[in-house]
A and B are shown apart, each in its own frame.
Chain A
Amino acid sequence: MNGTAPTPRPRSRLGPRSRAHRILQIGPFLLVGAILTLTPFLPQQAEAGGVGQSEEQVVVMPTALPEASDGSTVISLSWGEAPGEVGLNAPDGGERRGPESFAVASDGRIVILDSVNRRLVTVESPSSPTGTIPLQLRSPRFLAATTEQIHVLDADDDHCLQTFAWDGRLLADRDIHEEEGPVTALLLDSDGSPMIELAHDRTVAVGTPGEIHGLSAATPSSRGRPAGKGRDRWVTANIAGDGGARVEQRDDQRGLERSWSVEPSGRARVDHVVSLDSDPDGRVILGVRLRDVPGERRDTPGSLLLTRLDDQGGSLVLAESLYAYLGAPYAIGGDGRVYAPLAETAGYRIVVHSFPEVTR
């Protein structure tokens, strides 16, 4: 075994396969240190199990980050309040405001929360005209979209979840009473129904319109975020140890299916988990912001690291936006690609990035 490669750490749970077999499987991509540059998080499959058994991988962080992805622009909008524009407000005091969220439906349509103009801006395709949907909410921050519906959540002031059709019709208006928070995401289950995540820990399904939905300790909830289609599968992420993270995937019937232990290497440490998503194929994507290194400035792009936690081990570095008002720094589209907002003097852009194919 190559001496420079990270040491696989067998976690003998229930795996019937031999460790040697697994090492042979992953041997080719453990050989060259340069691969670390292409795949910052290199998964090492320790042991695997069959139905009812779990599989654990150790993922070692890189000592050096690859270049940030440039991506390609899918939509570019000027600042303003006219149709086809989004607002930017630099007040005398308080936080600068721009679009605070966006969502991508599985058919590629994009909806942007144009906070300053209190509306949604819908983009059918990069070349087609945009539409607008007025909002009455004071502090909407969360968006989710299917091919049929757009969900908008104001968890801060109006405590309301509104659902629109893409043509702007208001389909539902639900009161949301947050009793234990904070709200950290608006998610969709495998059927496209909205779910609200609290404290990056548990997820509450939002029921029938007309009811008052309390998000209290007594509200039935699920641990983690929904993942995959057609199954009751959930993923959780947690900071673990000193600068690492742990991801687990559970199935309602089968329990713990897979887990990944992300471990630090060199000076790279996880500061916090940014997002945990799954692509259309059910592959889990972990996004982390790396910890500041004392003595080194971190106000330059390049500290967001996304890893697709599958056997391919694809990783992607994004330029971290210098504009916090854009909300979450990226979203996973229905096509499995990574969409990220950018703010520039001329206007607002959404750039799409793809995970690189891993050469073995």
Chain B
Amino acid sequence: MRATILSCLLRRQGASRHGGATVVVALTLLACLPATVQAAAPPMSRPEIIARAESALGTAYTWGRESWNPDAGGGSGPDCSGFVLKCWEVPNTLLYQEEHGVNATISPRYTTYSFYNNLGPWGPISDRASLLPGDALVYNNGSAGHVVLYAEGDGWNYPVVYEAPYTGATVRRASRYLSSVYQPRRRYGLTDSSILLDNPTAVSVGGTDVAGNWTRSTSNPGYYGHNYQVRAATTATAWARWTPRLPASGYYNIYVRYTDGWNRASNARITVTTPTASATRYLDQRGGGGSWLKLGRYYLAGGYSPKKGSVTIYATGANGYVVADAVLFAPTN
């Protein structure tokens, strides 16, 4: 049952017009639950959190409610803390799969006060620079509060969040200025720390991280997210680069995804940059599209820097169209 519902959610995410540009996929953490934890959080992946958030888009903010019907395409939705609780499947709330579509509430329950003061199975993050998709940002001043789910940072690293904002509005994915009162929080029991960067990230990183006129397209199937980027062969400078914000130094398996076609390059140059070296190989994009192609296992440094860990694909010197779609960085033991 659970698997069925999750796969349903993930399908919805794939079909959504709000599909996340950055998604962090599944597998580690589970350790170090502090003594303040009220109840253990079940293992959960970041994609599942994001998929749940996507399934709530368009539902109407309803104070005191923590459920929504992901198949209704609207209707009554959760309030802000109910939204995050359900996306996180926090114990002591009604189970998501048992409740969706039912106008049920539970009282007392976790609120923004609980999020802010770490009174549940979550904890603080040292700073916002460490935020990953599926984390939360919360404030509570004793009389009012709000909590949002972090989706990604754009090319400005400006936060894009999922939130149930207020009465009269619907759950949305929006770019929001969040002042210093918002503190970052992370759910315990997350099962993965891989990072997936879709092509909008490569585009939005702009000046320093893309060169040449890449356009977006949906012509060929098999792309990840909304679309992919494409650039005709050229002798001019033209490249796109994915730079992850890595939580820690270590070895990562790196995968690339593209859409193939007869007019694609058979010699698309792609380079992995590590703190100590660069490795180059050539992709034949006339076949093999629509799946994750492993580039190799590399040691990358934590943080965010093209010099510490990045992947760059070039249209320069190619013999056909070059596609830049998505790159996955999966930590290895």
Contacts and interface: CB of A to CB of B under 8 A. Distances in A.
Nearest to A197: B175
Nearest to A295: B126
Nearest to B173: A182
Contacts of A224: 206
Interface in B151-191: 153-160, 163-170, 172-182
Contacts of A270: 157
A240 interface: yes
Contacts of A25: none
A11 interface: no
A273 interface: yes
A292 B203 CA distance: 26
A242 B243 CA distance: 11
Contacts of B64: 92-93
Contacts of B304: 239, 241-242
A213 B160 CA distance: 23
Contacts of B127: 291-294
Q: Which interface residue of B157, B170, B203, B209 has the most chain A CB atoms within 10 A?
A: B157
Nearest to A245: B156
Given A156-B169, A240-B208, A322 B181 contact: yes
Contact of A199 (B126, B155, B172, B305): B155
A337 interface: no
Contacts of B17: 178-180
Interface string A225-264: 0000000000011111110001110000000000100000
Interface stretch (A29-37, A78-86, A104-112, A323-331): A323-331
B80 A95 contact: yes
Contacts of A242: 303-305, 308
B81 interface: yes
B180 A237 contact: no
Contacts of B208: 238, 240-241, 246
Contacts of A223: 206
A181 interface: yes
Interface stretch (B138-146, B252-260, B261-269, B282-290): B138-146
B180 A200 contact: no
Contacts of A89: 166
A328 B159 CA distance: 12
B193 interface: no
Interface string B68-90: 00000000000111000000000
B46 interface: no
A294 B126 contact: yes
A316 B53 CA distance: 38
Contacts of B164: 94
A328 B155 CA distance: 17
Q: Which interface residue of B153, B160, B179, B216 has the most chain A CB atoms within 10 A?
A: B179
Nearest to B139: A324
Nearest to B60: A157
Nearest to A300: B180
B129 A200 contact: no
B159 A241 contact: no
Interface in B65-114: 79-81, 111
Interface in B193-231: 200, 203-209, 216-218, 226-227
Contacts of B308: 242
Given A95-B146, A217-B218, A239-B156, A200 B176 contact: no
A24 interface: no
B152 to A, nearest CB: 10
Q: Which interface residue of B175, B182, B209 has the most chain A CB atoms within 10 A?
A: B175
A199 B129 contact: no
A180 B157 contact: no
A97 B179 contact: no
Contacts, number: 182
A239 B205 contact: yes
A96 B146 contact: yes
A158 to B, nearest CB: 10
B175 A246 contact: no
B206 A236 contact: yes
B165 A94 contact: yes
B244 interface: no
A237 B159 CA distance: 15
B123 interface: no
A122 interface: no
A272 to B, nearest CB: 4
Contacts of B178: 324
B251 interface: no
A293 B63 CA distance: 35
Given A90-B143, A95-B166, A291-B127, A272 B180 contact: no
B61 to A, nearest CB: 6
A298 B180 contact: yes
B207 A248 contact: yes
A138 interface: yes
B157 to A, nearest CB: 4
B195 to A, nearest CB: 16
Given A182-B174, A272-B153, A139 B180 contact: no
A296 to B, nearest CB: 9
Given A272-B153, A322-B181, A94 B206 contact: no
A184 interface: yes
A153 to B, nearest CB: 12
A292 to B, nearest CB: 4
18 contacts: A91-B144, A92-B63, A93-B63, A93-B111, A94-B166, A199-B155, A217-B218, A238-B205, A238-B209, A241-B306, A248-B207, A274-B156, A274-B158, A291-B127, A291-B128, A321-B179, A322-B179, A324-B139
List 4 tightest A-B contacts by C-beta distance, closest first. Answer: A273-B156, A292-B127, A95-B146, A272-B157
Interface of A: 89-97, 138-139, 141, 155-157, 178-184, 199-201, 217-218, 223-224, 236-242, 246-248, 259, 269-274, 291-294, 298-300, 303, 320-324, 327-329
Given A156-B172, A237-B206, A242-B305, 14 more contacts: A93-B80, A94-B61, A94-B63, A95-B146, A95-B166, A138-B168, A184-B158, A199-B154, A199-B200, A238-B207, A246-B207, A270-B157, A272-B156, A329-B177
